[in-house]
Amino acid sequence: MTHNLQRIGWLVMALLFAAGCAPPSRANAPSAGEDSTAVQKVILVQPAGEEEELKLKPVDPLTLEDLPGYKPLRAGAHFDRAVSPDGEKLALVAWPTSDFEEGVLRIIDLKEWKERTADFTLDGPVKGFVFASDGKTLYWLAPAEQDSPGLPEEFGLYRFGLNDRKPARIARFPRFFEPREMVILSGGNLAVYGATKDEGNKGGRAYTIDPMSGNIRSQVSLEEIKDETVLQGQGILPSSNRTHRRSPGTCGKRCFISSAVNRSG
């Protein structure tokens, strides 16, 4: 019991996908003669026994015991991830150290338990890491290159095709805008929510972007949402005991942003 509780403590990501998928490959997974699809699988993240190193491996969802024959995959010291809509692919950006430098993009086939590594690196954390609805394209938000030293950081929208395997920046946001979240709308457009850091013009802002052209189709100022201290969807305002939580959601071709305030005490 204690052993399982310790392992649950390291469970920072659980990806359930149904039994009955294709048998895993012979390289990293059980041989074809084994009944490897008899149970559902959970992907468990644990320390790899090395400094700042994590590993991924499939386990039984009920017992959290290792599934036999699967080779653990390395996940670096930090990672961000996205799951394809069909649940068959896991995209992982893994940084080898806590400095978030030289992150490597890996595409993991969850059915075959094989991975492919992109031939470029990412410096700094990424945001809004998502798959397109067809599962063939990845999008993320990251700082863009600086045109002039000392100017505020600008963010860009990046695209990576799993077939052509070429990353490209397709859009650049206005200076002082810091994106926080990104979701895919049902029509294929991207909805990006963030905060404007320009002095005297602070507050939330939302954009919809055409992922093919990179053109900003619309933008909405949300001045009533003062988001100066909120990161990754939640935060504590220093001047009060109020907790703000906000996270974009989608319904059809619309993106909804809620700004709820919970009072304690």
DSSP conformation letters of 52-116: T-EEEEEE-TTT-PBPTTPPPEEEESEEEEEE-TTS-EEEEEEESSTT--SEEEEEEETTTTEEE
The mean pLDDT of 214-233, rounded to a whole number, is: 65
Give 169-183 pLDDT, tens digit per residue.
Answer: 999 998 888 898 899
pLDDT of 17 strictly over 70: no
The DSSP letter of residue 132 is -
Confidence of residue 215 (pLDDT cuts 50, 70, 90): very high
pLDDT of 156 strictly over 60: yes
Q: What is the pLDDT, as a whole number, of residue 139? A: 96
Q: What are the structural domain ranges in the chain?
A: 167-265
Q: Which residue has the higher pLDDT, 65 or 222?
A: 65
Give 108-136 pLDDT, tens digit per residue.
Answer: 999 889 999 999 998 888 888 999 988 99
Confidence of residue 153 (pLDDT cuts 50, 70, 90): confident
Q: Which residue has the higher pLDDT, 166 or 238?
A: 166
Task: Point out the least confidently predicted range of 87-91, 101-105, 117-121, 148-152.
Answer: 148-152
Do β-strands 254-257 and 260-262 pair in parallel, antiparallel, or remain unpaired?
unpaired
pLDDT of 206 strictly over 80: yes
Q: Which residue has the higher pLDDT, 197 or 92?
A: 92
The mean pLDDT of 226-246, rounded to a whole number, is: 39
Sheet containing 190-196, strands listed edge to edge, beginning at the edge strand earlier in sequence: 177-184, 190-196, 203-209, 216-222
Q: Give the angle subtended at the CA of 34 by the CAs of 28 and 35, to the nearest 5°.
A: 110
pLDDT of 107 strictly over 60: yes
Q: What is the pLDDT, as a whole number, of residue 224? A: 59
As a whole number, the mean pLDDT across the chain is 73
pLDDT of 161 strictly over 50: yes
Q: Give yes or no for a contact between 132 and 83, defined as CB atoms under 8 angstroms apart.
A: no
Q: What is the pLDDT, as a whole number, of residue 197? A: 76
- Tell me the C-alpha distance between 206 and 227, whole Å: 12
Q: What is the pLDDT, as a whole number, of residue 131? A: 95
Reported pTM: 0.70
Q: Where are the beta strands (DSSP E) in 110-201?
A: 114-122, 127-131, 137-143, 155-161, 167-172, 177-184, 190-196
